[in-house]
Structure 1
Amino acid sequence: MEITGRLVADATVRAVNADKNVTGFRVAVNRNYKSQGEQKQETAFVDCTYWRGEGIAPYLTKGMVVQLSGFMTAEAWVSRDGEPMAGLRFRTEEINMLTRSGKQDDKPAGNKKQGLRPSEQFN
């Protein structure tokens, strides 16, 4: 499955256990359609995870358009009120960066590899 969207915030990395980290981010995916002859747009916000390494996180910045390949997973949890909850999350296997970030300097400090696109380096 593929989705294309715009990152709504910079990616974050969180520890899952002592030796495993996951990169998390959210993308806005727009759908254009006509209703009663009027052009409309609907936006879905998709929570995504990337388990193949946290080194890509500095490249995934707010405003960037990305194309993602992966699959949806259902996750269950219990709310603070004790209610069972569930949601969908996109488990990302490949990331293609279609635009640069909106930041002035979109290269993280210490990256010495010139000419290598992040999507080529981390997928």
Structure 2
Amino acid sequence: MEITGRIVKDASIFKVKENREVVNFSIAVNDSYRPKGSTEVKKIVTYIDCSYWLSAGLAQWLKKGTLVQLFGRIGMNVYIGNDSQAHGSLTFHTSDIKILVFARADDTKPVPAKAPKKQQASNDPDDLPF
């Protein structure tokens, strides 16, 4: 499954048993629809809790405002609370993260994620690859 959204709060790292770490963060997914028989477009925001177990080092790039594309699966947690009622929550278990736009600094524009620049060709005829 694939989802795309903006991170709503800087990612946090939690240590769990056996020296494992998990990166937890939440994203906001914007959507819109037009109700039947209406000309008005309704906008909705869905907040999704996410977890990433593969590398805690990635947390430094998962800052508030970063636009990410996530691949993974949905997991459900169900429990009986102190109020004797059933409660549940969904978590997106992320297996791959692609950063589309990095979070902006205080007074700058958003920075698109770019592939590394290729080495520019030289004008020197002796540097020809053949």
Tell me which interval the TM-score lies in, with the shorter structure as reference length.
0.7 to 0.9
Structure 2: gaps (5+ residues): 107-115, 118-130
Percent of paired sites with the same residue? 35
Match of 1:4 in 2: 4
Question: Which residue identity does 1:93 align to in structure 2?
Answer: S
Say which one has the larger Rg: 2
Distance 1:100 1:78, change over 3 A: same
Does 2:56 align with 1:63? no
* SS of residue in 2 equivalent to 1:103: coil
Q: Structure 1-normalised TM-score? A: 0.79
Q: Secondary structure at the match of 2:58?
A: helix
Question: Number of residues paired by the alignment?
Answer: 106
Residue number in structure 2 paired with 1:20: 20
User: Following TM superposition, where does structure 1 have runs of at least 4 consecutive aligned residues deviating by more than 6 angstroms?
Assistant: none
Q: Which runs of 5+ in 1 are unaligned?
A: 105-113, 116-123
Matched residue of 2:102: which SS?
Answer: coil
Instruction: Note if contact 1:12-1:57 (Cα within 8 Å) is conserved in structure 2.
Output: yes
SS at match of 1:46: strand
Task: Supply the RMSD in Å over aligned alpha carbons.
Answer: 1.7
